[in-house]
Amino acid sequence: MKKKMNRNKLYDHIQGYTFISPAIVLLAVFVYISIVVAIYMSFNEVNLFRWTFDFVGFNNYKRIFTEDRIFKAFSNTTKFVAVVAPMQTVLALILAAVLNSKIRAQKAFRIVYFLPTLTSSTALTMIFMFIFSISGPYNTIGKALGFVQEATNWLNEPKFALKIIMCMNIWSTVPYYMTIYLSALQDVPASLYEAAEVDGANAVLRFLNITVPHMKPITSFVFITGIIGTFQMFDQAYIFSNGSGGPQNSTLTVALMVYQYAFSLLNDMGLASAVAIVLSIVIIIASALANKLNKSEKLYS
């Protein structure tokens, strides 16, 4: 009996590992091996065309803290994260709470708000580039209402370029996180809202004292996901600036700069790998801090 049981367990183990082996191979090739290679390249001066690796120690990491362009990229990315991640989290929760309430045309509003998520990032970027171009609707409407004095190509204004990308990113990501909140709000007992309403609590108080505490675990997930996504922002900045990070490096993000160093400008894969490693460490630290700050509490004793 014991031998049969041992054989059955062995067969179960073999079967289990057989099923997960494709995922293990994919992770090993495209994640773990890639990480090891990136770490190795970060300590070398790499020329992929000649396939040469010259060991330079920590020189690539030293350059990260001495070059102005790299500092500018980290500065832009930090500003982007600091604005977009909290804003998309707060707006998503507010919209979800409103759409979960007893308002008319609930389903229609949910579809309308979710539409930006279905649009590709490239298309959204092109739309916003048109809106803020010199002949776009922003200048036309602004002139009519009086808050724009002269038609301006806002895409070429360093003070506004990154802000436009921020608005675009918030507008396109809020619906996705709103859907997550909407799903979670279905589990909040309606009796809590009814009891609070009987006690005289208005909509704002019910939101602050019932919705927000119950959504704390979801908020932690949404906020951390937002931080990771915003730190890795690449495609919108690339399309917006045609890969240059302009005007005057105002839209240069860390992910875009890694691409430039690795493939576009200087063929400096060693420095690109070092920046990517540092960015990964920053994301891990920021996510850990966010998780600690938003750590869920027990709602019931």
Q: Is the pLDDT of residue 2 over 90?
A: no
Cβ(287)–Cβ(228) below 8 Å: yes
**Is the per-residue pLDDT at 301 higher than 60?**
no
pLDDT of amino acid 294 = 65
Mean pLDDT (the chain) is: 85
pLDDT in tens, 143-189: 888 888 888 888 888 899 999 999 999 988 998 899 899 888 888 88
Please state, for a pLDDT cut of 90, what percent of the chain lies above it.
32
Rounded CA Rg of the chain = 25
Query: What are the tens digits of pLDDT across the range 95-138?
Result: 888 888 777 766 777 777 777 777 788 888 888 889 998 888 88
Is the model more confident about 201 or about 159? 159
Question: Residues 81-103: what's their mean pLDDT?
Answer: 89
Band the pLDDT of 86: cuts 50, 70, 90: very high
Q: What is the mean pLDDT of residues 85-94?
A: 93
Give the type of residue at 241. S
CA dist 266 and 95 (Å) reads 45
pTM of the model: 0.85
**What whole-number distance in Å separates Cα of residue 270 and Cα of residue 55?**
10
pLDDT (0 to 100) of residue 5: 55
Share of the chain above pLDDT 70, in %: 94
Q: Which of 18-32, 38-52, 120-134, 282-296 has the lowest mean pLDDT?
A: 282-296
